[in-house]
Structures are given as C-alpha cells and as structure tokens.
Amino acid sequence: MIISFTAENFRSIDESITLSFEASTGIKDMENRGYSTIANTRVLNAMAFFGANSSGKSNVFKAVNRMRSVILQSVRLNAGEALKYDPFLLSDKLARPTTFEIEFVDGTDRFKYGFSYTAERIEREWLIAKFPKRSLKTLFERGPEEIVIDELNFAEGLPIQSGSIQLNENRLLISLAAQLGGVVSKRVIEWFLTKLRFASGLNDRNYMRFTRENLHANEEYKSGILQFISSMDLGFSEVRTEQEDINEMALPKGLPAELIASLREHPFITANSLHKKYNADGQEVGVVEFDIDEKESDGTKKLFNMAGPIVDALRKGKTLFVDELDSQLHPLLTRKIVNLFNCQDNGREGAQLIFTTHDTNLLSKKQLRRDQVVFVEKDNKAMTRITPMIDIKFDNGTKPRTDSNYEKNYLEGKYGAIPYFATDFDGCGE
C-alpha cells in the first residue's frame, strides 16, 4: 500500500506536492472504517480527487505512472539516450530536475524510494527502509559526485559503488542492482511492477483483455468477476467466453512481428452476456446471449471491463488508480465500487482505490472520510496545488464542521477546486 507520494516539476506540477495516505487518528467518519492496518500503519483504502477540468488531477496520477515507467525502463537505455522528461513549462525558472518519491509497505517492511532526473541524467537517487525491530536505514544515496552504500543492509550495491559495474548517467541504480540479482532492489522493482495498476474511466480498452482472459481461463478469478457483475445489477450474472483461433495465413501482410507475437500470446476472446428470457406471464423460458461489445450499453461495458482489475486489486492487495471513475456510471454504482475498497475486512491484505471524480454525491462522511478527499486546483501561475479536506481552514481559522453538508459547501466554492466563470456565456443569470 502507498503511504505517501511526492512530485515536483512534472507537467502542471511545479512546486513540490505531497500526498499522505496515512489515516488520521482524529477522524471517526464512516464509523472509523476506510483504512487497513499494515506494518503497524493505518493506511487509507481509498482516496478521491475532486477539481475542475484542467486542474491537474490526471497529472498527479500520471506522475506516479511516470515514476514507475522510468524505474522499469531506464535500465534498458543505452548511454546517451534520453529519459522521459516532462517538466513544468509555464515558468521563467531555470531548467531543473523532476523529482519523485514514494513511500510504501511491502509485507511487514516500509520503503521510501525516490530520484531526481533530467532528460540527460539521474541527478539524485535514494532508498530508505524500515524493517521490523530495526531502526530506519538509508540503504543507499546517490548524488552527482558519489554513491554511498549501507554495506550491511544493501551489499548488492557495492559493485556499482566501486565502479566494477558501470552505472550510466541515465540509469537508475536500483534498476541496475535488480537486474544483477539484488534481493532488496528486486523487491522494490517487483512492487512497482505488480502492485500498481492504472486505468482510465474514459477508455477501458487497455484492461478489457485482462478481464476477458481471467474470465476465460482463471477459475479463481472467474467466480470473483461474476460475483462483482451480479452485484452491480446489470441485468445478467453469467458470461460465456470463447477464444478465437489465430489464422496467421489470413492476417494482412506486413504486420509488425511484435503485433503478430502479441496476437499469438493473447488471442482475442469474445464475451457474451446471458440474459434470461420471459413469456407474457413473467415466467423464465430461456436464455438469450448478447455480444457485450455490440449489445450492451457503454456503462455496462465499462463495468464489465473494469471487473477484472477491481477483483485483482481486492484479492492481491494492489493499488488501483482510476482516472474519471464515475464516467458513464450511475452514482450508486460509483458508491458501491468505493465501498468495496473502503469496507474491506481489516484482516485482509489492504487494497487501495485512488481515483478522480466529479461525483459530488461521494462528499459525505458516510461515503468517504475527510482524510480521503483531496481538492485539486490551479493557482494564478497555472500551477497545480492540492489541498486535503482535512487541512482546509476558512478565513476565520475554523475547519469544516463534522455536521456540515460537504457536497453543498463544495459546490458553493467554500473548499475551492471548482470552475470559476468570468462571464455569463449564455446571457442568463442564475
């Protein structure tokens, strides 16, 4: 589970922003649910980001995903190749590095890992760990001129520190150490690779395949996916899948070899929903199959395609980022998805749902704790700023009352992070 994340100088994020996912001890919203206790830390199971369009909500998620991609890809770069670098451009400040840092729990251990970089090089890199019954340790710290290694706890970094293994300027030390078989570094890389999942509420094609493949060939996941679908009242609870054979002779000539290899590894799977058929007296008389791609509504298709990642996150304790979760969904369905994460049995491995939304119905202490709500807006210099609801203070120094109507106050602009209209475009007053 993610405990905190920091980003600086990335897209619309200029100055450093930090998100904390630790549950506040002073909040009793949702009857004190909404978090999991893991590694002696109370970590939030869900977090919602509210804000106007173009406020930078999506860029916060993209920052986490960019950090992940740099970690996984830098080791493949040749010397001199550019890193993916996308700094804040609406400032006259001198060019400077982008910085990412994430703190997370893996099993019973806590790690804090981060780096600063430009397109040309890694400027700084660090890894800090807290193991059970041991004090906080800086396992390694890399600067422009030297690398400092904790010989006892991160011996896998010593060959890199000594120079016997070359570390190019555009490569992350942790990625290289993992490639060389380092135990601790491989744990960190595996966490990024297996515990983080990103989805778009507007474009679900990228996780459609995951849901269909698990429905078709994974009996354990199939039951969970069908249970999720049934609970959403979509009009069906059974799905029939069929894997299409790949006839390479019939494929268009000139297809890239990578695409052909992908088609071999992941043949297309059709999915048909099974709907009950009734007579005039309301008696069930049969079943009709609908091609989900052609016959079901966009909202139903979205929920069906999201079923796999949601079940996967809940069962494996993953962190699922969803941009525009509420798109094409009824508010009650959005609420139900959030509740699946918020109301986990505290004894299970914690899963997290981190999402952007415009669904103000969720702004209720019965649906989200105040430490689970973050407001995002741009200031007068076009920089993205974040304000957790728990940190809001009014001009008179008070905080939002626990008996306040959060949704009404937000729409009235009391918490910020809403659109402000300079002119009345349609000529009508309120």
pLDDT tens digits, one per residue of 354-365: 999 999 999 998
What's the angle, vertex CA 43, arms to CA 305 and CA 11, rounded to 5?
65
Higher pLDDT, residue 133 or 35 = 35
Residue 258 confidence (pLDDT): 72
pLDDT for 430 beyond 80: no
Q: Which residues pair with residue 104 across a beta bridge?
A: 2, 111
Indicate the range of 23-32, 151-160, 296-305 predicted with least confidence.
23-32
Average pLDDT over residues 96-121: 96
Q: How confident is the model at residue 264 (pLDDT cuts 50, 70, 90)?
A: confident
The β-bridge relationship of strands 46-51 and 373-378 is: parallel
pLDDT for 344 beyond 50: yes
Q: How confident is the model at residue 345 (pLDDT cuts 50, 70, 90)?
A: low
Q: Which of 7-11, 409-413, 424-428 has the highest mean pLDDT?
A: 7-11
Cβ partners under 8 Å of residue 246, min gap 6: 263, 264, 267
Residue 347 confidence (pLDDT): 45
pLDDT for 117 beyond 90: yes
Indicate the range of 29-43, 115-129, 248-262, 351-365 predicted with least confidence.
248-262
Q: 301 with 272: CB under 8 angstroms?
A: no
**Cα separation of 341 and 339, whole Å?**
5
What's the angle, vertex CA 263, arms to CA 261 and CA 267, rounded to 5?
140
CA-CA-CA-CA dihedral for 311, 312, 317, 322, to nearest 10:
-80
CB atoms within 10 A of CB 54: 14
Residue 94 confidence (pLDDT): 80
**Cα separation of 304 and 320, whole Å?**
16
Q: How confident is the model at residue 93 (pLDDT cuts 50, 70, 90)?
A: confident
- Going from the C-alpha of 330 to that of each of 45, 166, 193, 300, 327, the distances in angstroms are 22, 54, 32, 10, 9
Q: In the chain, which segments carry CATH 3.40.50?
A: 1-202+324-420
Residue 147 confidence (pLDDT): 98
pLDDT for 422 beyond 90: no
pLDDT for 346 beyond 60: no
Q: How confident is the model at residue 259 (pLDDT cuts 50, 70, 90)?
A: low
Cβ partners under 8 Å of residue 406, min gap 6: 363, 364, 365, 373, 389, 400, 415
**Cα separation of 378 and 89, whole Å?**
14
Higher pLDDT, residue 69 or 394 = 69
Average pLDDT over residues 135-164: 96
Residue 162 confidence (pLDDT): 95
Higher pLDDT, residue 358 or 200 = 358
Average pLDDT over residues 25-50: 89
Q: 3-state class of 316 per DSSP?
A: helix
Amino acid letter, residue 270: T
pLDDT for 250 beyond 70: no
What single-letter DSSP state applies at residue 30?
H
Higher pLDDT, residue 103 or 247 = 103
Q: How confident is the model at residue 348 (pLDDT cuts 50, 70, 90)?
A: low
The answer for 225, left when phi > 0, alpha when psi is -120 to 50, beta otherwise, is: alpha
pLDDT for 429 beyond 60: no
Residue 265 confidence (pLDDT): 72
CA atoms 160, 163, 166, 172: torsion sign: positive
Closest CA to 417 of 63, 59, 55, 62: 55
pLDDT for 180 beyond 60: yes
The mean pLDDT of the chain is 91
**Cα separation of 242 and 176, whole Å?**
41
Q: Which CATH number does 1-202+324-420 carry?
A: 3.40.50
* Tokens 């395609």 -> residue: 305
Q: 3-state class of 309 per DSSP?
A: helix
What single-letter DSSP state applies at residue 172?
-
pLDDT for 300 beyond 70: yes
Q: How confident is the model at residue 424 (pLDDT cuts 50, 70, 90)?
A: low
**Cα separation of 238 and 271, whole Å?**
10
* Tokens 């919203």 -> residue: 29
How many helices (H) and strands (E) the chain has is answered by 12, 18
Q: How confident is the model at residue 268 (pLDDT cuts 50, 70, 90)?
A: confident
Share of the chain above pLDDT 90, in %: 77
